Structure 1
Amino acid sequence: MKNLKLPITIDPFKSAQRRLECEGVFKLTEMNRLLAVCETHGEQVKVSVQFDVDELGLVVLTGKASASVSLTCQRCTEDFEQEIEAEFCFSPVKKPELADELPSYYDAIELDENGEVNLRELVEEELILMIPLIPKHNLEDCNAQADSVWGELPEELDKPNPFDVLKQLK
């Protein structure tokens, strides 16, 4: 069953029983934490999510999200457009202690007080994790100053070992 509307919160257990597939968009302007680390370039985040029950009987939600954002290059300090994409695979848990019992290929996600998952926050967190730690252009596209040197460091010159003096004292 496919649903074109993308809910903000959803019950993963009921959705998994129906094998629900959701595709849609969230507005990028509604993701304040993501906007705190980058600028908007596109207007929306494309999301597709599938709910299912695996062979172990665990409820699983898998999906993809992508957005176009503007980041600041750390070499030349100019903005550039970056497409960030995230893939995720979660299994909801009712108590944090149950997260340790999940197989290692699933990430745990806690349910809210209504037994639902906030899908928009989940997608926002996954996109934040995909932002490079040090954003920068490709070296060919970067307008860094010409006096900057990028590449391999020169081999070190043979310097005398300062501890050689101690060998002479033996």
Structure 2
Amino acid sequence: MSRDYPDQVDPWKAAEGRRTFSGTVPMDRMARLMPLLEPPVGEAEFTAQFRFDEERNAVIRIEVRAKLPMICQRSLKRYEESVQRRSLLGVITSADEESDLPGHYEPALAENGRIQLRDLVEDELLLGAPQVPRDPAVDAVRRSFGRSGSEQDEPPASSSDEPTRRPFADLAEQLARKQSGKPEEEQ
């Protein structure tokens, strides 16, 4: 584990000094991310650059890279999802300030005037994680429509000579007869 950064940062002081923090964070310390991962887990690399923009907003340019161990929903086997994210964050002190941020910034809430770098990294990984994990190395599931024991990639084409089976075609007539009270044999 590389520790060239503090746990918490005063974002305005860091922006004033144009500070850059980088290192790795063990993913097992990310409580919100862990339920999505399949142990054992590794580390996430990050770089966070602090500065002020033209409007004197404290901003953070963050880059995060990690391989997330996940379970593929196609094969149900473990694989590593490669995540690389870059974001530009605008520091705010309350949710009310979010609307004041320029549109190209994502909000980063400084609670009690501090930001936890680990939380920023975890947020980026959560945003980069797939909703449905799928190993790109696993081919799409193929369906077998077998004719006489052989597999095909596509369903057999329907012949226009064969009548189409419509199981509910006469349901409306049967319901109408039942409502009128007439037995089916009479009609």
| Larger proportion of strand | 1
Could you tell me how far apart the structure 2 residues matched to 1:30 and 1:141 are? 30
SS across alignment from 1:67: strand
CA contact (8 A) 1:6 1:26 kept: no
Change (3 A) 1:157 1:88: farther
Could you tell me how far apart the structure 2 residues matched to 1:155 and 1:52 are? 63
Under a length normalisation based on structure 1, what TM-score does the superposition of the two structures give? 0.77
Could you tell me how far apart the structure 2 residues matched to 1:117 and 1:26 are? 15
SS across alignment from 2:54: coil
CA contact (8 A) 1:61 1:90 kept: yes
Flag the structure with more relative contact order, 1 or 2, with Cα contacts below 8 A and sequence separation at least 6: 1
Computing the radius of gyration from Cα coordinates, the structure with the larger value is 2
Structure 1 position 34, deviation (Å): 1.1
CA contact (8 A) 1:51 1:62 kept: yes
Can you give the 5+ residue segments of structure 2 that lack an aligned partner in the other structure? 146-150, 170-187
* RMSD of equivalent CA atoms: 3.1
For 1:128, the aligned partner's letter is L
Change (3 A) 1:30 1:156: farther
Could you tell me how far apart the structure 1 residues matched to 2:108 and 2:8 are? 13
Under a length normalisation based on structure 2, what TM-score does the superposition of the two structures give? 0.71
> 1:104-115 maps to which residues of 2 (within 5 A)?
104-113=103-112, 115=113
Give yes or no for the alignment of 1:129 onto 2:127. Answer: yes
Could you tell me how far apart the structure 2 residues matched to 1:152 and 1:57 are? 60
Could you tell me how far apart the structure 1 residues matched to 2:125 and 2:15 are? 24
Judge which range, 15-24 or 75-84, deviates more.
Answer: 75-84
Could you tell me how far apart the structure 1 residues matched to 2:107 and 2:92 are? 6
SS across alignment from 2:120: helix
Change (3 A) 1:146 1:118: same
Q: Number of matched residues?
A: 156
Can you give the 5+ residue segments of structure 1 that lack an aligned partner in the other structure? 163-170
